[in-house]
Amino acid sequence: MTDPAAILAWMEGLGETLMSTFGITIQVYTKERVVGTMPITPKVHQPMGILHGGASVAFAETLASFGAMLHVDLETSLPVGLEINANHLRSRSEGIITGEAVPLHIGRTSQLWDIKLRDEGGALVCVSRCTIAVRPR
């Protein structure tokens, strides 16, 4: 499977996943750029009522992983997260964050993605880098 729309439909049809639990949706999906949104609701809050850093990281890795899938044949390869880091720059307790993932390196066995999460006003909430390993199935 290599068709971007088919990959998105497959992901959305998986049922109860972290992506569906957090309300993550993907709007733009090309090999050069993946854009998605995640609502900031109590499901993604930490105890102080603000966006949990782990939820931001999960959102960032979701975008990078989806982008990674667009660069491989999923019948023969399995892209998996290898490493992720994040800097949390602003706290938010409500609204919607938009994430944009762009590839910095697409190799045969690894990929590196840069992800920026922004609030509705365009302010950076989190910046992240995610390394994806590409393994044979």
Burial class (CB in 10 A: 0-12, 13-18, 19+), 89: middle
Tokens in use for 97? 């964050």
DSSP letter assigned to residue 132: E
**Among all chains, which residue has been given the structure tokens 């850093």?**
53
Tokens in use for 100? 């944009």
User: Is 61 part of the annotated catalytic residue set?
Assistant: yes
SS3 of the chain: helix, strand, coil, percent, to 5: 25, 45, 30
Catalytic residue among 32, 61, 75, 100: 61
- Active-site amino acid positions: 61
